[in-house]
Amino acid sequence: MTDEEKKFLLKISRMYYFEDCTQAEIAKKVGVSRPIISKGLQKALHVKLVEIIIHDQAAPTIDLEQEIESAFSLEEVIVVPTADMSTELANSALAKAASSYVLKQLKHVTKIGISWGTTLHNLVKEFPEEAHEHLKIIPLVGGMGSNRIELHSNQIAYELSKKLNCSCESLYAPAIVESESFRDLLLQTPTVADVLEEAKKIDLAIVGIGNPFMQSTLEEIGYIGDEELKSLEASGVVGDINSCFICRDGTIAKNSINERVIGIQVVELKSVSKVIAIVQGSHKADSVLAALRGGYIHTLITDEQTASEMVRLMKIQSHKQDSGQPG
């Protein structure tokens, strides 16, 4: 390239990128045809006289999405940028992103199953009002009592049905009962059995994922105490979905507490066309990874900090496997 040609390319590039001139205006000013200007601008990019840098704040989250998605063959991962947000703003941002995603899934859905917890409560708070009279909302797990009633599956199902102007069912039973025999008795009652049978026919499931050992809503509400936590830890539990406890490899824990849950079984989620997990909190990263290993989820929606911690743990696990260390 001659100095004269280089000078020409720099001149038209400045006019195009700095002065906001159109290609036609540049052509008129320098006395050449518009195609020559177009080719000149392309050449300036090709020979690196001009470089375009996109300052995309979402770029780190896109990388996280792709890494998690490919590692577990998920349909979709949505990581909400929350790095510089307060907890309150981050909660709201995740809930808004999740509600927007869920709304887009409703076209061919007739029955939605929803679990319980703080994150799903936030989801419903941010959910826009949009009539879908053909839908029915079904709680996926029991929930009774006066403690933190807004977090119970029945209440969340009811509030979501109001937002969507549709019907809902109620599961009149606790999430976890005192004994396996009492659970079996409750499962035989028509009011419980009928709802759980309908829950097996949902098209879309919306669940949260919990860590029973850190910031646990199950513990806060009083479903589990110190003795249960010791039992769960001894069983290798790292997380829970729909009040069902799972181990690090995604298998269902062999623990008596799992035999006392009133709700659809986690393995039954595998027959649902689409299961969306909405999760917030980096303390749940190991719990989410366990759920993904179990293959219970199709779509994950989470915040940036949780996704970052998940990827960090994935890399540690990968390094251990490569070096022959136990996982």
CB atoms near residue 161 (< 10 Å): 21
| 323: confidence class by pLDDT, cuts 50, 70, 90 | low
**Above pLDDT 90, what percent of the chain?**
71
* β-strands 204-207, 111-114 pairing: parallel
Instruction: Give, in order, the Cα–Cα distances in Å from 292 to each of 67, 148, 258, 304.
Output: 13, 28, 19, 17
User: Distance between CA atoms of 190 and 195, rounded to whole angstroms?
Assistant: 8
User: Distance between CA atoms of 297 and 114, rounded to whole angstroms?
Assistant: 14
Which conformational region is residue 255 in: left (phi greater than 0), alpha (psi within -120 to 50 degrees), or beta?
beta
pLDDT tens, position by position, 140-196 = 998 866 678 888 999 999 999 999 999 999 999 988 888 999 999 999 999 999 999
pLDDT tens, position by position, 51-69 = 876 655 566 788 999 999 9
Q: Which domains, and CATH codes, for the chain?
A: 3-46 (1.10.10), 59-322 (3.40.50.1360)
- pLDDT for residue 208 is more than 70: yes
pLDDT tens, position by position, 250-269 = 999 998 889 999 999 899 99
Please give the pLDDT value at position 322.
66
CB-based contacts of 177: which residues, under 8 Å, 6+ apart? 183, 186, 260, 262
pLDDT tens, position by position, 100-113 = 999 999 988 999 99
Please give the pLDDT value at position 145.
67
| 249: confidence class by pLDDT, cuts 50, 70, 90 | very high
State mean pLDDT over 289-313: 96
Instruction: Give, in order, the Cα–Cα distances in Å from 158 to each of 124, 161, 259.
Output: 10, 5, 27
Please report, as a single letter, which amino acid is at residue 53. Answer: I
Please give the pLDDT value at position 317.
83
Hey, is 181 helix, strand or coil? helix
User: Distance between CA atoms of 72 and 298, rounded to whole angstroms?
Assistant: 9
| 197: confidence class by pLDDT, cuts 50, 70, 90 | very high
Tell me which residue of 82, 158, 86, 93 sits closest to 119, measured CA to CA. Answer: 93
Please give the pLDDT value at position 218.
82
Whole-number average pLDDT of the chain: 90
Tell me which residue of 283, 273, 205 sits closest to 244, measured CA to CA. Answer: 205
Please give the pLDDT value at position 148.
83
CB-based contacts of 122: which residues, under 8 Å, 6+ apart? 91, 92, 94, 95, 280
Please give the pLDDT value at position 54.
61
**Above pLDDT 70, what percent of the chain?**
95
Please give the pLDDT value at position 85.
86
Instruction: Give, in order, the Cα–Cα distances in Å from 92 to each of 86, 88, 130, 326.
Output: 10, 6, 19, 39
